[in-house]
């Protein structure tokens, strides 16, 4: 079964102070680390980002933009579902990951798909006592439902949509003293921690 992938990089990176996708991490842009980990797990892979797509040309990915600004990652999910549905051989499923998650697990797609089974159901990742709703598996068939929901919803939050349509959870352990595989690099200090874990 082919699963498409989407890296969500449409946020403002306000806490980082510069665009997260291009921030150097262990000698490479953070986006390169995410592509290296997610790319082997999926078929077609795209990047959700706004603004001039030319700044990402060296990564060789199609860039899909949000339909309107400042609606959070759910706008990126919708853009990704629309992109996947228009592929020559549309996949049944799309996996999304944020660009600030460079430690994502090598079995992310396999585990999410196992929990989904044959059902057209959203599956999100969790680790320890936290869930991570943008590390998720989305049925491409949800594109129209998501678009309709966003037109009338008071909030554009991912959790609101998940509560409305239902979801399942796939859980990963966090080793004592080890990194959470869904660690988010949100601020400059997080880069130091991520670099140390990548070096292990």
Q: What are the structural domain ranges in the chain? A: 3-198
Dig out the tokens for 151 from the structure: 């037109």
List the pLDDT tens digit at each of the 200 positions of the chain: 689 999 999 766 555 667 899 999 999 999 999 999 999 999 999 999 999 999 999 999 999 999 877 678 999 999 999 999 999 999 999 999 999 999 999 999 999 999 999 989 999 999 988 999 999 999 999 999 999 999 888 888 999 999 999 999 999 999 887 789 999 998 888 888 898 888 77
How many angstroms separate the CA atoms of 110 and 164, rounded?
Answer: 25
Backbone φ/ψ region at 46: left (φ over 0), alpha (ψ -120 to 50), beta: beta
Q: Does domain 3-198 have CATH number 2.40.10.120?
A: no
How many angstroms separate the CA atoms of 85 and 182, rounded?
Answer: 27
Dig out the tokens for 85 from the structure: 């549905």
Contact 134, 177 (CB under 8 A): no
pTM strictly above 0.85: yes
């Amino acid at each position: 079964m082919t699963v498409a992938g989407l890296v969500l990089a449409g946020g403002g990176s306000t806490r980082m102070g510069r665009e997260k996708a291009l921030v150097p991490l262990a000698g490479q842009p953070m986006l390169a680390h995410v592509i290296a980990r997610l790319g082997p797990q999926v078929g077609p892979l795209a990047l959700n980002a706004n603004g001039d797509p030319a700044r990402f040309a060296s990564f060789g990915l199609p860039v899909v933009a949000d339909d309107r600004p400042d609606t959070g990652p759910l706008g990126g999910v919708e853009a990704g579902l629309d992109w996947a549905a228009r592929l020559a051989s549309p996949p049944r499923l799309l996996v999304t990951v944020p660009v600030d998650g460079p430690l994502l697990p090598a079995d992310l797609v396999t585990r999410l798909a196992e929990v989904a089974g044959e059902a057209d159901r959203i599956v999100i990742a969790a680790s320890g006592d936290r869930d991570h709703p943008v590390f998720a598996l989305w049925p491409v068939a949800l594109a129209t439902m998501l678009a309709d929901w966003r037109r009338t919803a008071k909030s554009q939050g991912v959790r609101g949509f998940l509560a409305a349509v239902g979801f399942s959870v796939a859980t990963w352990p966090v080793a004592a003293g080890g990194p959470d595989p869904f660690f988010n690099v949100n601020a400059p200090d997080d880069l130091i921690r991520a670099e140390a874990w990548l070096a292990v």
